[in-house]
Amino acid sequence: MAALPAAELRFFPGAGHFSPEDNPPSLRRRTPRLRTRNRPRAAELTGAGPNPQSWPDSVSGFARASKVGPVSDWEQFLDRVPWFGGIAVAGEAEPWTRGPVPGLPALSALLGSATVTPVSEDGEAYELLAWGPPDDRGGWLCHPPRQEGTEAFHPVHRAFSAVCGGITEWFGEPGSWWRNQDEVLTAGIANTRLSEVLDAGLEVPVRPDEHYVVAVEANGNLTLAHRRSGRLLLFAQDHAFTGATPLPGCPSLLTIDGVPDLATWIETCAAARQP
């Protein structure tokens, strides 16, 4: 894999112990970030120019501070994620029409309250899912739904992918196990060659081929799911977690207390997002 360009990542300050209600500590990166966002220069956030209201949605929301009238989901996203790069074009927001996700009631309720804004960045399609009061929205920037290439996913992940292709950015994020992740439930990270990570001179009590990556953190920590049972594991060689328990004899692999499997993990994080 080619080396990725350097970028200022979304590390949250503070070391030591944390729970899902706190910011995770900044830990040493062990695996490459699969997708980077370069933060814009300060000059790009100042809004210098004669008519900020006429600027397209590809301009950072900080530059539209003087805009009069309702602020769109896309504008609120850019206000909170100013490092979102490239030339992005957003369409009109529409209500969620894809129905519930089987077996995931909290996620289904959250998505049922969402609006969907189509986004294109440098020719790549995304969707902005947003919810909450009009002046304080939150949500996810996601890949479009996909079913092709998901055969090896756990069934719960396949059901998720059928309505949402995975999350790449967040805004208005509360405390949850998805905070400070680079990607969650995307096909790209699911195809990570996990055997090369877990077999790097380490003794691990699991079979890498039976697990796959469902989340990658900015520091390289991985969240893994078992392909059949959905059992959830954290892979973190340096850590200072509360709310997680190392496997016996393997401090780099941990279970999340009270979150044993993929479905519970998704439901717990979706419930934290309920407006």
Contact between residue 119 and residue 90 where contact means Cβ atoms under 8 Å apart: yes
- For 32-70, the pLDDT digits (tens) are 333 444 433 222 322 333 232 333 333 334 334 445 568
The residue behind tokens 């957003």 is 90
Tens of pLDDT, residues 96-132: 999 999 999 999 999 999 999 999 998 899 999 999 9
Whether residue 204 has pLDDT greater than 80: no
Residue 201 predicted with pLDDT over 70: no
pTM: 0.75
Q: In angstroms, rounded to a whole number, what is the distance separating the alpha carbons of residues 105 and 85?
A: 34
Strands (E), 53-137: 88-90, 94-95, 115-121, 124-131
CA 163 to chain centre: 15
259: which DSSP letter? B
Query: How long, in residues, is the chain?
Result: 275
Residue whose pair of structure tokens reads 């699969």 in the numeric block: 34
Distance CA 211, CA 196 (A): 13
**CB neighbours (10 Å) of residue 16?**
8
Instruction: Tell which residue, 135, 138, 117, 140, has the closest CA to residue 71.
Output: 135
Backbone dihedral angles phi then psi of residue 184, each to the nearest 5 degrees: -135, 125
Give me the pLDDT at residue 239, please.
Answer: 66
> Which pLDDT score is estimated for 166?
98
Contact 218, 9 (CB under 8 A): yes
Residue-averaged pLDDT of the chain: 77
Q: Answer whether residue 25 shows pLDDT above 70.
A: no
- Report whether 177 contacts 256 (CB < 8 A): yes
- Residue 85: what pLDDT? 62
φ, ψ of residue 162 in degrees (nearest 5) = -65, -20
Angstrom distance (rounded) from CA 151 to CA 84? 31
Contact 138, 169 (CB under 8 A): no
pLDDT tens-digit readout, 122-161: 889 999 999 999 988 999 999 999 999 999 999 999 999 9
Q: How many CB atoms lie within 10 A of CB 59?
A: 18
